[in-house]
Homo-oligomer: A and B are copies of this chain.
């Protein structure tokens, strides 16, 4: 399985960044994983929401080709971890291109990129900070891989 995770800009919180590295290391023991930190729209007033989203969507799209694209959005579908593992396993067996998870910046993802998604996933009905969402996603990817591999992972 070839996995990619894409998001705009590096993780600023030192604590979150350490936890991110922890999960990435665990994932890489079970699968190929490429982390791509794309262009972040900086220095633009937050009121220009559409402009920010467009710049970041363009940055993300540069790194997506025929990938199977899973975008994170609170307007997406809520599924359980078993179901996510099932989607990844099935896709990895039938589709020769990477499975790419796309997480938005602090304003989320623009429609340009959401429209390209093969699956739009909601992690929770609650709103997480975009940096915490990175962690929750990585933990779910790791959990999915342990489910696929039949490993025992901490509840």
Determine the chain B residues whose CB is within 8 A of the CB of A129 once the complex forms: 139, 143, 153-155
**A149 CB, nearest partner CB in chain B, Å:** 16
Asked whether, in the complex, the Cβ of B22 is within 8 Å of the Cβ of A108, the reply is no
Select one of B18, B81, B107 contacting A126, CB under 8 A. Answer: B81
> A123 within 8 Å of B by Cβ?
yes
Select one of B81, B107, B126, B140 contacting A155, CB under 8 A. Answer: B107
Determine the chain B residues whose CB is within 8 A of the CB of A131 once the complex forms: 154
> A127 within 8 Å of B by Cβ?
yes
| Chain B, Cβ-Cβ closest to A12 | B154
Determine the chain B residues whose CB is within 8 A of the CB of A140 once the complex forms: 126
| Chain B, Cβ-Cβ closest to A121 | B126
**Provided the pairs A22-B15, A80-B125 are in contact, do residues A155 and B130 lie with their beta carbons within 8 angstroms?**
yes
CA distance A15 to B128 in the complex (A): 18
Given contacts A124-B125, A136-B136, list 14 more A-B pairs with CB under 8 A.
A13-B22, A15-B18, A18-B18, A18-B19, A79-B126, A106-B154, A106-B155, A108-B155, A124-B136, A126-B136, A126-B143, A129-B153, A129-B154, A132-B139
Q: 8 tightest A-B contacts by CB?
A: A124-B124, A78-B125, A15-B19, A81-B127, A15-B22, A81-B126, A15-B18, A129-B154
Residues of A within 8 A of B (CB): 13, 15-16, 18-19, 22, 78-81, 84, 106-108, 123-132, 135-136, 139-140, 143, 153-155
